[in-house]
Amino acid sequence: MNLTRDLERARVEIERHAREFGLDFFPTIFELVDHDELNEVAAFGGFPTRYPHWRFGMEFDRLQKGYRYGLSKIYELVINNDPCYAYLMKSNSLVDQKLVMAHVYGHCDFFKNNVYFAHTDRKMVDRMANHGTILRKLMERHGVGEVENFLDRCLALDNLIDPHSAALRREPVAVRGRPGGVEHDGDAPAAAPGRLPAKGYLDRYVNPDRFLDAQRRRDEERQQRQGRFPARPCRDVLKFLLEHAPLKRWQQEVLSLVREEAYYVAPQAQTKVMNEGWASYWHSTIMTRRVLRDSEVIDFADHHAGTLATAPGRLNPYKLGIELFRSIEERWDKGRHGREWAECDSLEARRRFDRRLGEGRAKIFEVRRLHSDVTFVDTFLDQDFCDAQKMYVYRTDPRTGRQEIASRDHRLVKEQLLFGLSNSGQPIIEVADGNHGNRGELLLAHRFEGLELDVRFAGETLRMLEALWGRPVGIESKVDGKGVLVRCEKGEVSTRELAPSGATDRNGDEGR
């Protein structure tokens, strides 16, 4: 730790206050860096070491330009790890550093205790470094161009996972182990059908390629005899490719690494509002109640207000999260929940309603532990909250072209929020048939929920999938209320309308 004496004194004080308030976090290591170093780490996704790839250079260049021209500035960066690593920029003022440290301890508490992070690898800093070593060795062996091109395809598909699979078992657990023979703590990302358990360098001898290919063919034939391959829609497309695509061993290894990192990152997208709201709640509480000096109040208020500022038509997760946590705390402190509160229909009685229960702090800790953004908003966003925060549904007046309030109903506000938060706003894609038309083609299905696929992006994704599958790939969806099939064969993308009987609306349960 390379903190100055003043920063170290502030860190010790803030950590003590955080623990006194009940926060529980892994040991947290702060590193003091300049803006170039911070932008470099941020370009790597917060990790000091990653595998070599051109996209990290592009991200670094974007961050550098944003900082140089005053368009953006990174105040805090923290990694879900044990110990947690956080970075402070040298040029920040002391009050900024205090705010950031208090904010970081809120994040660290959330990482450690929220159930959606329970399955994540707590040694991911080391794991990322191992991934870099593995990919560099593969590049030396197979060529930089070939490995990088395959890596590009995998990264283009890294959102085709099942983010709920860590908590919801949809199929029998495969034999543990990872293609390539690299040891892996915890659950393996995916295992080929019939893979025998083996560790380290022995894997290539216990599970040679010919054996795995034979096991894969046997598994596919068994499922085909049962009438469907896969037996049920498979949302984890990357896992399906790992198990059934005709990939070389090193390609399996690359795809497995990409998938592992995608699952590590997934909970952050599922809890963005809660995570930032929780950290903002605690930096506000710790700073205003315990840490701030009189001379620092104005600077803190300015920077805190900047964090919570919300532009028209945009969602600020910091603002929504902190206000919802504060609302929950107040409601449970005053007993504004349950039957008695629901049946109170007098405005004056509701304004004065206060059973003085004092259960608010315990309740928000419970919420922090159990919820994701979707359940957080769905459970606790009510009419009183929307009225207090002036959250309405807007529409554009066709006559004047101006935005106007279309509805004040919190149910419609909630519906719009949940639509954007569900699956992080991305379409839900499943493997519907691994042998479509008995031609070995891969058929995907878009679980249509009102938002159409962008056919151009869908076509580019299918090209990447075709390169991995080795056979034509298609996806069923809806455009203008009609079923369509977007198909890619030999890099050429085509779209055709499905007959009414073939326009499958895959909107049912995944476990059917």
Using the predicted structure, report yes or no on whether residue 103 has a pLDDT greater than 60.
yes
The token pair that represents 172 in the structure block: 């029998």
- What is the band of 187 on the pLDDT scale with cuts at 50, 70, 90? very low
Kindly list the strands in the beta sheet with 429-436, ordered across the sheet, starting from the edge strand earlier in the chain.
429-436, 441-446, 473-479, 482-489, 492-497
The token pair that represents 243 in the structure block: 């198990």
Place of tokens 């499905």: 498
Nearest to 17 by CA among 289, 216, 403: 289
Using the predicted structure, report yes or no on whether residue 122 has a pLDDT greater than 90.
yes
Residue 173 confidence (pLDDT): 45
d(CA 361, CA 228): 51
Using the predicted structure, report yes or no on whether residue 401 has a pLDDT greater than 70.
yes
How far from chain centre, in Å, is Cα 91?
A: 30
- What is the band of 176 on the pLDDT scale with cuts at 50, 70, 90? very low
Helix-helix angle 94-113:360-370, to 10 degrees: 70
Residue 492 confidence (pLDDT): 94
Residue 168 confidence (pLDDT): 67
Residue 79 confidence (pLDDT): 94
Residue 273 confidence (pLDDT): 97
Residue 71 confidence (pLDDT): 83
Arithmetic mean of pLDDT over the chain: 88
Residue 374 confidence (pLDDT): 95
Using the predicted structure, report yes or no on whether residue 77 has a pLDDT greater than 80.
yes
Nearest to 171 by CA among 114, 263, 243: 243
Residue 186 confidence (pLDDT): 36
- Digit-coded pLDDT (tens) for 453-504: 888 889 999 999 999 999 999 999 988 888 899 999 999 999 999 887 544 4
Report the length, in residues, of the chain.
512
Across the chain, which distance is largest between two alpha carbons, in Å?
Answer: 77
Residue 438 confidence (pLDDT): 87
Using the predicted structure, report yes or no on whether residue 9 has a pLDDT greater than 60.
yes
Nearest to 475 by CA among 103, 22, 157: 157
Pairing mode of beta strands 77-79, 84-89: antiparallel
Burial class of 66 by CB neighbour count within 10 A (0 to 12, 13 to 18, 19+) = middle
- Digit-coded pLDDT (tens) for 290-306: 999 999 999 999 999 99
Q: Residue 389 is which amino acid?
A: Q
The values of phi and psi at residue 196, to 5°, are: -85, 145
Pairing mode of beta strands 482-489, 492-497: antiparallel
The token pair that represents 315 in the structure block: 């969602």
Using the predicted structure, report yes or no on whether residue 88 has a pLDDT greater than 80.
yes
Q: What is the pTM of this model?
A: 0.85
d(CA 462, CA 495): 12
Using the predicted structure, report yes or no on whether residue 225 has a pLDDT greater than 90.
no
- Show Cβ contacts of residue 38 under 8 Å, excluding neighbours closer than 6 positions: 74, 77, 87, 89
Residue 509 confidence (pLDDT): 39
Higher pLDDT, 394 or 327: 327
Q: What percent of the chain has pLDDT over 70?
A: 89
- Digit-coded pLDDT (tens) for 321-376: 999 999 999 999 999 999 999 999 898 999 999 999 999 999 999 999 999 999 99
Residue 185 confidence (pLDDT): 36
d(CA 189, CA 211): 20
Q: DSSP strand E in 66-173: where?
A: 77-79, 84-89
3-class DSSP state of 374: helix
The token pair that represents 420 in the structure block: 């954007």
Place of tokens 């995998």: 154
Provide Rg for the chain, Cα atoms: 26
Pairing mode of beta strands 482-489, 473-479: antiparallel
Nearest to 155 by CA among 61, 249, 54: 54
Residue 485 confidence (pLDDT): 93
Using the predicted structure, report yes or no on whether residue 244 has a pLDDT greater than 90.
yes
Residue 198 confidence (pLDDT): 67
Q: Of all helices (H) and strands (E), which one includes residue 64?
A: helix 54-68
- Digit-coded pLDDT (tens) for 146-159: 999 999 999 999 99
